[in-house]
Structure 1
Amino acid sequence: MQGTMKPKGKGMGRFAGTILVMTLVLLLLPSVAFLQGREHLYRVVVHVENPIRTIPREKLKRIFTGKIRYWPDHQKILPIYLDGEHLTDFAEDVGLSRSDLQQRWVRLSLQGVTEPPRRFERAEDALAFLVAHPTAIGIFPSSLSETPSVLKEIPVEP
């Protein structure tokens, strides 16, 4: 009879192990989602004549902080942005706070080395600027509904 009895607590150990595994999986899910990338509140738009198809996040940061001023073909880059909440998402995505980004723009202006990115309050004006200046690059909200056919959105690489 001794061999037929189950030790007490063995069934509970299996249950606790299952709960532990499920908890670990649930804790790791946000990390996996982060690795896959998140949906941005901003989009990057350039003229179709611009040969770039994607842009690395670090290069985008360097363009919008005045550290890169020319495209590989030696054309001057004209960074612009449409003012709005998406700018906070852009700043955080490139590793800055919105206020730090704006302070850098003030410094660029005061140093006179290069102009800070041009600010637009109306989407129509910003899009018209991009259409007229093929070397421009713009930051817009992801909710921007339509862009002229001579403009294209480019994805940001990690």
Structure 2
Amino acid sequence: RAASAGSNGADGSDERGQSVSTVATTPSGRRARLSARRRESIRLLDGLPGQGGIGEFLRHPAGVESLLNTRALQSFAPVEPESESGPAGAFRCTLHPMGFLGFQVAPVLDLRVTPTRDDCTVEMLSCRFEGSDSIEQQNELFSGHQSMLS
């Protein structure tokens, strides 16, 4: 089961969880409010006797790479913990650049993958945009959070 944490439709998203954006003009200029939501469930087979389950599979690097679909990313690398108590199982995922409001941007996500015996949680630790100076300045005004159970 996978569920992306987000809003319940009151944010302007439709019932299918498709991306929705709104633009408002304020005295200080234009302000965009963007949101995205997606829910997806995939039924997995129980582990075979002696083979382990999904939790064991996701403890291996190949399992994490499969879960995060690293072939679709521009780059993927483990994030070194800042200290011994830093986030274990953290990865930096850079998506391919895309056009966004007339700019080229490349989203960069730091994700933590926490497998358990029966499932796995993927948590977004940070999200920022890379691109032109004006795009990167917007990172100070942007924040994102996501938690996904699979």
* TM superposition score category, shorter chain reference: under 0.3
Greater relative contact order (CA < 8 Å, ≥ 6 in sequence): 1
Q: Which has the higher strand share?
A: 2
Structure with a larger share of its residues in helix:
1
Could you tell me the TM-score, scaled by structure 1's length? 0.26
Larger Rg: 1
TM-score (norm 2): 0.27
